[in-house]
Amino acid sequence: MLAYRHAFHAGNHADVLKHLVLVQVLRHMNHKAKPYWVIDTHAGAGGYALHDPAAQKHAEYAEGIGRLWPRDDAPPAVADYLAQIRAFNTGGPLLYYPGSPAIAHQLMRPQDKLRLFELHPSDHRLLDASFGAQPGVQVRCADGFVALKSLLPPPDRRAVVLLDPSYELKTDYAALRNTLSDALQRFAVGTYAVWYPVLQRRESHLLPQQLRRIAGQADWLDVRLQVREPDASGFGLLGSGMFVINPPWTLHATLQGLLPWLTGVLGQFKGAHFQLEQQAS
């Protein structure tokens, strides 16, 4: 959706969960010397200034990374995620938040490749300015759902595909399902990380079960974190989830150990909770 700008939401609780999982997935990929690709279908601007008017409009980062930033008791995987945010701020105060492209670029090795897609012209210009000239990186102003078909399977048959559309259009749900189903037919052994919102919307409630059906017999992991209480308006992001197909075998145990802590830090009401489920062969 061309009206959507992630700058308004940078560093919120959903980014925390998404990027914490992404760091763990990429750490696992780095255990083998063989190269891999990271493909980000909705890359955004790549990084965000938290003092920018867009980020300050609702200051969503204050209830996300802002709550974690001063903590010195974070579990190891959360501390690893925080280290990536600190590196993006060159060890100084929290002024900037890295998007998925920046986090991936920080963690990848010289032999790995990064493929970034962003359709919004303004965000694409920012993304290209930051990453377009970097070795091993390609930035395209294109619909990542459509472009993904031409990239699978990758030459070395190792890849992490991050799919995180805005879901502001109801058609995003069907587009995601169709894209993921097609991708698995082309490249069944890839790791697919799907971010999804927890909303008071029928499409949001149905999506996790739909993703499980698409995954079929493949291993998958589904983690959801709800930090806000539903209200009478029926609007607003209550939480978010990450559905990972062919996840690292260590991911479930890692998340199981840190989610109680993370829920306590990010929760905005007494009923804040998490769910963690998996299918493992």
Q: Write down the pLDDT at residue 209.
A: 97
Q: Which of 15, 123, 128, 164 is catalytic?
A: 164
Q: Write down the pLDDT at residue 45.
A: 95
Q: Write down the pLDDT at residue 232.
A: 67
Amino acid at 240: S
- Buried b / exposed e along 198-231 (16+ C-beta atoms within 10 A): bbeeebbeebbebbbebbeebbbbbbbbbbbeee
- Residue 101: exposure state from Cβ atoms within 10 A (0-12, 13-18, ≥19): buried
Q: Write down the pLDDT at residue 1.
A: 44
* Residue-by-residue DSSP string for 32-45: SSS--EEEETT-TT
Q: Write down the pLDDT at residue 4.
A: 57
Per-residue confidence of the chain (281 residues) as pLDDT tens digits?
444 568 889 999 999 999 999 999 999 999 999 999 999 999 999 999 999 998 999 899 999 999 999 999 999 999 999 999 999 999 899 999 999 999 999 999 999 999 999 999 999 999 999 999 999 999 999 999 999 999 999 999 999 999 999 998 889 999 999 999 999 999 999 999 999 999 988 899 999 999 999 999 999 999 999 999 988 676 789 999 999 999 999 999 999 999 999 999 999 999 999 999 999 98
* pTM assigned to the model: 0.96
- Catalytic, 164? Answer yes
The token pair at 218 is 């493949």
Domain coordinates of the chain in residue numbers?
6-279
Fold of 6-279: Rossmann fold (3.40.50)
Q: Write down the pLDDT at residue 2.
A: 47
Amino acid at 45: A
